[in-house]
Every structure is written in structure tokens, then in C-alpha cells.
Chains A and B, each alone.
Chain A
Amino acid sequence: MLLIECPWCGPRAETEFSYGGEAGITRPRDPDALSDAEWADYLFCRSNPRGNHRELWNHAHGCRRWFGVERDTVTYRISRSFELYPAAVPETDAALQSGPDNSNGGD
């Protein structure tokens, strides 16, 4: 059982959450302009790293908010959680694409 830190609710049991896959995948602005290979890459291809992984979680049975988690895929150790939309006006792409060292989220 993972103990996951929700940015709003604090540490909660894994059973309260649902997993949302890799973080930072941005939907292409103009899908019609993509080749089939590029579209397939957006839809299906993920980095699947050995080690540090930025991923999305939803506190489904808690505050129902999406947030980001950095987890080591080998040890399962979670190093930090962060808000995806810390500003009142969400800047989706910027919040997702900027690196974890950026001051976008609280730990």
C-alpha cells in the first residue's frame, strides 16, 4: 500500500486514489496537422522510465482533485506531490511542461 501525499488533504492511503498515467502529456493544438505516427505517439507512447517518474493521480475518494506525483518506479518511493493548477487561472501547458524544480507546486 502506497501512502500518497495529496497537496490538499495530506497523506492518504492508496485506495483513495486513482492513477492517471504519465504527467506532462500535452494534447496537440492542431491534431489535423499531425501524421498518423505523430498522433499514435501522442495517444499511445509513454516514456516508461526506470527510476523517477512524473505521474498524475486523482484523489477520487477525497477532494476529487488531480495532482502530480514524482515516484521512483523501482523503489516506489514518492519524492514529492505537486499541484497542477496552482494559479487561479490555470495555465495548463505551462504548469505541466515546466520541470519539477520550477516553483509550480507545493511539496
Chain B
Amino acid sequence: MSESTSRRHVETGVLENRGFLNLRLDPHKEKAVKAAEQILGQAVPLVSNTYGSGEHRVYWLGPDEWLIETDAGDVVALENELAMALAGSSAAINDVSGGYVALRIVGADARTVLAKGCTLDLHPPEFRPGRCARTRLARTTILLAADGEPDSYTIIAARSFTDYLRRWLAHAAEK
């Protein structure tokens, strides 16, 4: 993670070598869900606005849609394995690594900085580790996740907005 520090107790940086797969699947089709889970080695979260951690991170995006975050080097193999396992099911698996960048924002003031551009209630009882949400930050659409460690958040944003978001976060951290 390349880091930048500021007056607020917060550091932001890009997470390098992250790859992303978009998974569409009918959650009522148990066989397909089980097949995906077997390949992933972890559960596909069925509860809204949560993510599962393990070898990968599997974020809930919608009632039939997930984003899998993993090492960039593993994306192609994982995509192929999932495509094979889900062949014949009403499912879609797509490599969207080119479209997204993961940022991490860490520090005692991380929540305060995020709250300047986000309407979600980010307080821990509400937005605690294991929670994620697609929402808006500073007029862009992001996927925000509360990491396992306190005061640490992952932001997954469209690649083309990343430069703007990093500047916005740096500016927000100065005041």
C-alpha cells in the first residue's frame, strides 16, 4: 500500500495487485450456490450488505450479485474454475479487474473523513466489521467495507474515479 499521511489521523493508499470477479447467481438455486462455494472455499454471503473473508473476499452487491476480490494473479484461474463449476446453471462470472481499484483508508479519523462525503451511518454498531455497502462517496459510486481491524475501511471504486477520489480523500483529511 502506497501511503499518504495528513493532519487527520488517517492514511489512504491503493491496494496493489487486486483482481475482481463479478458473480451473478440465483440464490434460490442451492446446487449452483454450493458449486460456487466449493470452488471459492468459503460461503457466498446471502445477507444483504455483508461480505465473507477467507482466501478471497466475497462482497454482497445485490440479491443475486456478488463481487469477488482476490489476488490479481489468481483471477483468470478462479474465473475458469467458477465458469466450469457453474456451467449449465443460470449464472454469470465476469472478470471486471480492469474496471475497479481497491483503496484502503486507515486511522483513528478514517470514519470522520469518510463521513464528509458519505450518507451512510458508519458508526460501529451499524457499520461493523463484516459489513459492506454500495453507496456514494463524494459524488462517486463506491463499494465500502468495514475491515476486520478497527478504524480500517476498504473502498472499491471505478478505476477512472480513483485519482479524483484519492485527491478528495487527501483534501478531506486536511481539514
| Tally of contacts, chain A with chain B, CB under 8 A | 39
B156 part of interface (Cβ distance < 8 Å): no
B26 part of interface (Cβ distance < 8 Å): yes
Interface contact A9-B133, CB-CB below 8 Å: yes
B28 / chain A contacts, CB cutoff of 8 Å: 88
**In the complex, what distance in Å separates the CA atom of A88 from the CA atom of B30?**
12
* A60 and chain B: residue at smallest CB distance: B141
Shortest C-beta distance, B26 to chain A (Å), equals: 7
Which of A8, A10, A12, A88 contacts B62, CB < 8 Å?
A: A8
A60-79 contact mask (Cβ, 8 Å, vs B): 1 or 0 = 01111100000000000000
Shortest C-beta distance, A10 to chain B (Å), equals: 8
Given A8-B62, A9-B49, A63-B62: A88 and B135 interface contact (C-beta under 8 Å): no
B134 part of interface (Cβ distance < 8 Å): yes
Shortest C-beta distance, A100 to chain B (Å), equals: 21
Interface contact A13-B119, CB-CB below 8 Å: yes
Interface contact B48-A61, CB-CB below 8 Å: no
B63 part of interface (Cβ distance < 8 Å): yes
B39-68 contact mask (Cβ, 8 Å, vs A): 1 or 0 = 000000000110000000000011101000
Which of B48, B61, B136 contacts A16, CB < 8 Å?
A: B136
Interface contact B136-A15, CB-CB below 8 Å: yes
Interface contact A61-B141, CB-CB below 8 Å: yes
23 chain-A/chain-B pairs, Cβ below 8 angstroms? A8-B48, A8-B62, A8-B63, A9-B48, A9-B49, A10-B48, A10-B49, A12-B119, A12-B120, A13-B119, A15-B119, A16-B119, A61-B135, A62-B134, A63-B48, A63-B62, A63-B63, A63-B134, A64-B61, A64-B62, A64-B65, A64-B134, A88-B26
Q: Contacts A12-B135, A62-B135 given; 9 further ones with Cβ under 8 A?
A: A8-B63, A9-B48, A9-B49, A9-B133, A10-B49, A12-B119, A61-B136, A64-B65, A88-B28
The list of the 9 closest CB pairs from A to B, nearest first, reads: A13-B119, A63-B62, A88-B28, A61-B141, A8-B48, A62-B134, A61-B136, A8-B63, A64-B62
